[in-house]
């Protein structure tokens, strides 16, 4: 059993603050090997073994992802786990030819989407005050907020999947329009991008591509 204090939705601010302090004392930072697993040594994958992913692991993956912060706790990301043959055939309609096999061979293909009506749930997600007037009737602001924060949640999703021992392969070579028509017609959901999940076949990996140095990408002001 973990020594990490349990989350309590009804905790007072004092208890919440104590919980954060206790967690920091238990684990001030990740060790190098853990960081390698989730980022430094991690790779995107496009070939897969036939090892299945149990649904219980997908539930755990979502629970970890959902814990990540979003602005005003909007939580706009929605995740459609495509596992059935029928679902795969529908999703394949949207893919560029070179991506069809990548998706078809993955144990699970995930449509990472966002809900433009996320703000309607704010009385539950952000009960401190009514923030719905910030979004009601403001289509562009709703889209920007949902897209930005669902992308942030997708990053949590990727890191959480790797932390649980899964491999991931994000894909943007598809038609958002076709996915939205096929899966989200007459709803307030819109697709962001796709992500394959599974246990990778490492024989398809090639050399790591370069990254910018600190001096090239960062600055101080």
In order along its 221 residues, the chain shows pLDDT tens digits of 444 444 445 568 999 899 999 999 999 999 999 999 999 999 999 999 999 999 999 999 999 999 999 999 999 999 999 999 999 999 999 999 999 999 999 999 999 999 999 999 999 999 999 999 999 999 999 999 999 999 999 999 999 999 999 999 999 999 999 999 999 999 999 999 999 999 999 999 999 999 999 999 999 99
Q: How high is the pLDDT of residue 122? A: 97
Closest by CA to 157, choosing from 145, 169, 146, is 169
Q: What is the pLDDT of residues 174-215, one digit of tens each?
A: 999 999 999 999 999 999 999 999 999 999 999 999 999 999
Q: How high is the pLDDT of residue 4? A: 42
Contact between 100 and 185 (Cβ < 8 Å): no
> How many CA atoms lie less than 13 Å away from 21 in the CB half-sphere?
6
Q: What's the pTM?
A: 0.91
For the chain, the domains span: 10-41, 44-203
- Enter the CATH code of domain 44-203: 3.40.109.10
């Amino acid at each position: 059993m973990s020594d990490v204090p349990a989350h309590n939705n009804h905790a007072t601010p004092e208890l919440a603050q104590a919980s954060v302090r206790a967690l920091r004392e238990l684990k001030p930072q990740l060790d190098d090997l853990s960081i390698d697993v989730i980022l430094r040594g991690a790779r995107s994958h496009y070939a897969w073994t036939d090892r299945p992913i149990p649904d219980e692991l997908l539930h755990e993956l979502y629970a970890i992802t959902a814990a990540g912060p979003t602005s005003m706790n909007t939580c706009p990301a929605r995740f459609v786990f495509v596992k059935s043959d029928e679902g795969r055939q529908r999703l394949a309609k949207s893919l560029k030819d070179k991506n069809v096999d990548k998706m078809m061979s993955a144990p699970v293909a995930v449509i990472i989407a966002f809900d433009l009506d996320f703000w309607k749930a704010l009385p539950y997600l952000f009960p401190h005050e009514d923030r719905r007037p910030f979004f009601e009737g403001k289509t562009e602001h709703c889209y920007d907020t949902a897209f930005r924060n669902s992308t942030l949640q997708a990053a949590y999703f990727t890191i959480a999947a790797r932390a649980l021992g899964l491999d991931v392969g994000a894909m943007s070579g598809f038609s958002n329009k076709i996915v939205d028509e096929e899966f989200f017609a007459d709803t307030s959901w819109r697709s962001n991008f796709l992500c394959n999940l599974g246990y990778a076949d490492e024989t398809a990996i090639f050399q790591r591509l370069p990254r910018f140095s600190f001096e090239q990408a960062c600055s101080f002001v």
